[in-house]
Amino acid sequence: MDVLKALYEFFPTAVYTGKCLVFVSDEWRVELTKHTNTDYSNINCSLPMVRVKIYKKALNGEFAPGHYEDFQLDSVGELANQIERYIQFAIGGSLRENA
């Protein structure tokens, strides 16, 4: 199963675009994408990598890129928990509160 589709079950307020999961609020945009590991020395790693990108709305109304982090955990539940925690710390609150 695709990791983004599995994460969609944990984040029902997200929109699945086919290539990423997106959360949008008045001040924030968060994208979760499946990322390809470019470390070719680690060919045995079969765990999918999820990149979380956080954008903050600028004064001109556009979303400006900010933090990003790559996550690679074997349990989808733990992956979802750590991603949610990272987002909460990065935006200073819950997506559910800010959405």
Residue owning tokens 């600028």: 58
DSSP state of 19: S
- The secondary structure of 16-77, three-state, reads ECCCEEEEECCCEEEEEEEECCCCCCCCCCCCCEEEEEEEEECCCCCEEEEEEEEECCCCHH
Domain ranges of the chain: 3-98
pTM (2 decimals)? 0.83
pLDDT in tens, 73-98: 989 999 999 999 999 999 988 766 54
Residue 35 confidence (pLDDT): 85
pLDDT in tens, 5-23: 999 999 989 999 999 999 9
pLDDT in tens, 47-76: 789 999 999 999 999 999 998 999 999 899
